[in-house]
Structure 1
Amino acid sequence: MNSDQFSGKWKQIKGQAKQKWGELTDDEIDQIDGKREELVGKVQERYGIAKEEAEQQVAQFESSCHC
């Protein structure tokens, strides 16, 4: 899924994102608003992981999300 598709489907997949990364707040999920890099940054920050790990998690999420 490219970044335009990700952004366009955000309203459909944000519930799945909330399930995967339960430590993200509803406000953070709303702030992300379909911006992939924003999601990577929030996951990295909230979970204290390296950017590469956050990128990998988001890529895996993109390929497995049901949208």
Structure 2
Amino acid sequence: MDWNRVEGNWKQVKGKVREQWGKLTDDDLDVIDGKQEQLEGRLQQRYGYAKDQAKKEVNDWFDRMKL
């Protein structure tokens, strides 16, 4: 499975992202628009994660997803 499936199904995936990271706003989710780098950047902003921590969080979440 690759990240393209997240991008392609972003409308459905947004809810799961919101469940995982509740501090993300609707505006954040619109800006992210399924892009992995954007999600990592927003997590850094909202949660104060370091770049590598944000990447790990996203990768761990992605690995648990059943798309």
| TM-score, length-scaled by structure 1 | 0.89
Cα deviation per residue 1:6-65 (whole Å; 9 max; x = unaligned)?
211211211010011100101111111101100000001110010100000000111112
| Partners of 1:12 and 1:66 in 2: CA distance | 12
| Partners of 2:9 and 2:62 in 1: CA distance | 11
> 2:49 is aligned with what amino acid?
I
Structure 2 unmatched runs, 5+: none
SS of residue paired to 1:34: coil
Paired position in structure 1 for 2:57: 57
> 2:65 is aligned with what amino acid?
C
Q: When the two structures are aligned, how many residues end up with a matched partner? A: 67
Paired position in structure 1 for 2:35: 35
The higher relative CO (CA closer than 8 Å, separation ≥ 6) is in: 1
Paired position in structure 1 for 2:21: 21
> 1:6 is aligned with what amino acid?
V
| TM-score, length-scaled by structure 2 | 0.89
Paired position in structure 2 for 1:7: 7
Structure 1 unmatched runs, 5+: none
Instruction: Report the RMSD for the aligned CA atoms in angstroms.
Output: 1.2
